Amino acid sequence: MFRKIAVAYNESAKAQRALTSAIQLAKSLDAELEIITVVPDLPAYAAFASAADPGLPQVLNSDRVRFYEALHEGARAMARVQGIELQTHRIDGPAVDGIVKFLRTHKADLLVVGLHQRDLYIARLWSTVYELAQESPCSVLGVH
């Protein structure tokens, strides 16, 4: 049924829950598992700070790369404990567009996402998760 599972993953608790569920699902279905992390742009104030220190954007980018590498290594270790090999991917740019492009390119069968605990009406209108569900070329599983 699902041969390739992708997880939208970052440092949040909801993404951790999504990964935990996806690992269990991949193990039970003998499916491939990949995580996608969208790296946000540097905040606008970084441009102002770079006026005082022109090397600051490079330092901040290096710190972000190290942070996400460590985050991905933790996810790989968590999957290995369950006997699952996990592929990791970092994407720059807008979250929904980047994830949808990844899903199409890698032909994922299922996207697993962590759900916010918010008012349903607001979540439906504004949530990245809702937009992903509308744009995704594959099935989407939301995890509380």
Write the DSSP string, 43-90.
Answer: PTHHHHHHHH-TTHHHHHHHHHHHHHHHHHHHHHHHHHHTT--EEEEE
**pLDDT tens, 24-57?**
999 999 999 999 999 988 777 777 777 778 888 8
Nearest CA to 4 out of 140, 135, 129, 107 is that of 107
Number of domains the chain contains: 1
Q: What is the pTM of this model?
A: 0.88
**pLDDT tens, 62-109?**
999 999 999 999 999 999 999 999 999 999 888 999 999 999 999 999
What CATH number did the domain enclosing 83 receive?
A: 3.40.50.620
For residue 130, the enclosing domain spans: 4-143
Strand partners, 139: 110
Task: Give the 3-state secondary structure of residue 10.
Answer: coil
Scored b (16 or more CB within 10 A) or e, 102-112 reads bbeeeebbbbb
